[in-house]
Structure 1
Amino acid sequence: MAEAFLLKGNPENLSWSLRDMRERGSDLLRGKPESWMVWGVSERFEWVLQRLEGREVFVYVTRGAGIEGGLALYGVAQGVTELSGKYWPLGERWLAFYLEVRKAAPGVLEHPEDPKAWNLVPREKLAEAGVPVLPGPQKLKPEQAKKLRENLATTWYIDATIDIIKETTRNNYYNVKGVAELSRAFWEVVSLLNDVDDYEIDCYSSMDPHKVSALLVRSAFLFSIFHVIWPPPQAYSSTCLQETCRLASCSSGCSWKPPPKPSS
């Protein structure tokens, strides 16, 4: 298998190339496939440019723009192109080529304008794969290139898994939190009904029965709302609702008690 290359670049220049790939703002990409971008090497490394076509190229982003650096993407070199003027924001003497992007770290293609959103493969992971990051372009053996491809794929898998875990955890948190809050509210309403019932029995002789009935109606209304948005367990829901409705129409002599709390 042919050798591959590890090329470096600063985040500002890679961001520029990625945005141009997405927006097609320059004439260099006119008529080219959507997966192609423009990348380059310094004139000092012209020998690399002559050997790139058809080879795998891995792009390593150096430290800068608020990031520590790391492996950003890989693709296949698709030929040399000529620059008529300055293309990248940093640097002057560059030789350009087309790179067909095959795989990128999470966030690189999604947020080309924001390097801080790139989940790059860190330098340490490259070292573990037997690819210490050295100055200048680096030739990679087939087994090294394979490990770097695997690193990018693993980064995608881990990132997607973390997103799933975060989303599931967040949903479960709100579900559990919501159930707990509704449960407390439910028992507060039940307790209110019980208190009103006791109050009516103890004070009926000296209280206006219409006022007591009004309290019962209020408590029944609250209970009915919670019965709709969070029905109690089937074992006692129908009894609760029937008794609550009956309480709302009573003016004296009510003896309804709240159902037993479900066992935890």
Structure 2
Amino acid sequence: MLGIFNKRAKTIVVKEKPSLKVSLDGDGLARLLPYFPIGNKLRYFPEFKQELTLNTAIIAYAINNELVYSNDDISWQEENGAFQLYLLGKRLKKIKSFCFIMPTVGRGEEELDYARKARLGKDGGFIKGNNITLNGEQSDGRLPLLDATVRKQLILKEGHFVGHKVAILDIDPRAFKLIEQRRHVRLRTDIVGEIQTKLGQVPQRCTMVDFSDRAARIIYDGEDSGRSSYREGSVITLSFELPKSTESRVIRGKVIRQHDATVVMTLDNIMREKDFEKVELFDIMEIKANLLQQQF
């Protein structure tokens, strides 16, 4: 038996029927839950507005209207080719509803500009009926995506988060998918640029050899291939010009992999005029469209 979820489960004061009229199967839930454990940081965006991506966390599950606070309380095992879910060691024969309990405020809202805050709306976008797209824990280059529906908001009257306002999201395992990121969005490039740990420091010549929706792979000049400043977790800045364009792009991100003279960095912020702002979906699409011109 593989456990993912030592506190006792509590009955949640939500007696409404879930908005999703589906019969939930334990097998489908068991396959998605490892990517969405209680307590781990997740990323989400409301109403398919990927440019409004924020950080959040699941603080509890609600299974058949019972609150579960610990990953250790839920387990499953394979029986006759399908997984069966267990709550506190007791098999769940019928799962009428399965919900994620989440804060109504996402981390990162303060970094949004006025226009994006307006598009986000109140309560982090966790408005009744809204679709919330959750990005789970990545594994082997695959991004777990799950679309959930906000059932309602409430202030918890018991349990470990008593007095806190939360959102209840109905979960449908049929809305879960694993995206092979590198296979679908990786674009091979040959763009000369410069990298540096801070703007104003002496840059180092490099070549961007591929570009995806969330990361870029760079090979820098081998003379200083052992530079410790490019170690994993460090923040670097990449500057480059797009094909058939004289406008430079300056992107800042974290090193997620480094080997010899090769660095893979995330695409977190982009320079607009004189300030860095969060990279938006439009930025990625524009850059990729321009990079494609190199291939024609």
Is the structural similarity TM-score above 0.5? no
Which structure: larger Rg?
A: 1
Q: Point out the structure with the larger helix share.
A: 1
> TM-score, with normalisation over the residues of structure 1?
0.22
Q: Point out the structure with the larger strand share.
A: 2
